[in-house]
Amino acid sequence: AKALGKARHEIFDFSMYSQAAQLLQLEMDLRRAVERQEFQVHYQPIVSLETYKIIGFEALVRWQHPQHGLVSPERFISLAEETGLIVPIGYWVLREACRQMRAWQLEFPAHPPLTISVNISSKQFCQPNLIEQIHQILQDTGLEASSLKLEITETVLMENYESATAMLLQLQEMNIQLHLDDFGIGYSSLSYLHRFPSSALKIDRSFVINIGANGKNLEIVQAIISLAHSLNIDVIAEGVETMDQLRQLQIKKCKHAQGYIFSQPLDSQSVDTLIASSLPF
């Protein structure tokens, strides 16, 4: 009986079982969340480093879980990708973010108008009807195409090489800007920059962390900014937390930044308060 128990234990690894069970539970919860629309969009300001004015916001999804409270995307985006649930989630985020931005533009007119940046995942980017959906959303919400920026990573381009090229041309025709997200952490960022013309790149937070005094990434960041400028591409620094980092970025002529030094991502009501209190912006 003892031998049998041991054998059984080897076949059936309980720690693995509970991990799998947790994942399955999460997947079930996520499906229900899509049906019941348990998601929220939070917004993080993107700030001009020349004027300190808010030029726009990045939309970041949150999951209001009935038991676990507000769940960060880091905990569910990859599962959403694997299960394909990212497609309906991403569609909802895109529509909600465009609707909200149009409302802010009407309430708080600015020149140029505030923009909204939305993350587009790989699965979403290969949907053949994405362009059509964007058209419809812009029409329904009244948001100008030029106010919408799509953030994609190089993985998106890598996984959809063929369709990505066609997609980029269509987006260009529609006057929608493409921003290359998490720039620098992939091994081929530079070659993608060359092959897929984008309007801006976002320097990944992992580089920005180390650009303070004696920071080992200062030269890399400097090189990325110079290269981008020579290709007529704007640079947005992600995850700026300290004055030291901010100053270095300004010295290197980085145009825009987002990060906790300015603000964490905020719910829409807090953004209302923020914009109203920083007028004229």
Does residue 241 touch ligand C2E according to CB under 6 A? yes
DSSP state of 113: P
Q: Which is nearer to ligand C2E, 172 or 242 (CB)?
A: 242
Write phi, then psi, for 213 (nearest 5 degrees).
-50, 130
Of the candidate residues 29, 96, 154, 182, the single one contacting ligand C2E (CB under 6 A): 182
Q: What x/- string results for residues 201 through 220 when contact with ligand C2E is judged by CB under 6 A?
A: ----x---------------
d(CA 278, CA 281): 6
Q: Are 45 and 274 in contact (CB under 8 A)?
A: yes
Size of the site for ligand C2E (CB under 6 A): 23
- Find the DSSP H helices in the chain: 2-11, 14-36, 73-83, 86-107, 122-125, 130-141, 154-159, 161-174, 189-195, 205-208, 218-230, 243-251, 268-277
CA dihedral over 143, 180, 254, 58, signed as positive or negative: positive
Does residue 151 touch Ca ion according to CB under 5 A? yes
Q: Which does 74 bind (CB under 5 to 8 A by kind): ligand C2E, Ca ion, none?
A: ligand C2E
d(CA 79, CA 122): 13
Does residue 265 touch ligand C2E according to CB under 6 A? yes
Q: Which helix (H) or strand (E) holds 181?
A: strand 177-183
Site for ligand C2E in 40-79 (CB under 6 A): 44, 60-61, 72-74, 77
Q: Which is nearer to ligand C2E, 133 or 280 (CB)?
A: 133
- Which of 138-146, 191-199, 226-234, 238-246 is the region at the interface with ligand C2E (rule: CB under 6 A)? 238-246
Rounded to the nearest whole angstrom, what is the least distance from the CB of residue 47 to ligand C2E in the complex?
Answer: 11
Question: Would strands 54-65 and 39-48 be described as parallel, antiparallel, or unpaired?
Answer: antiparallel
Does residue 93 touch ligand C2E according to CB under 6 A? yes
Q: Which is nearer to ligand C2E, 113 or 259 (CB)?
A: 259
Give the residue among 235, 163, 222, 162 at the shortest CA–CA distance from 193: 235
Contacts to Ca ion by CB under 5 A: 119, 151, 181-182, 238
Contacts to ligand C2E by CB under 6 A: 44, 60-61, 72-74, 77, 86, 90, 93, 119, 121, 181-182, 205, 238-241, 258-260, 265
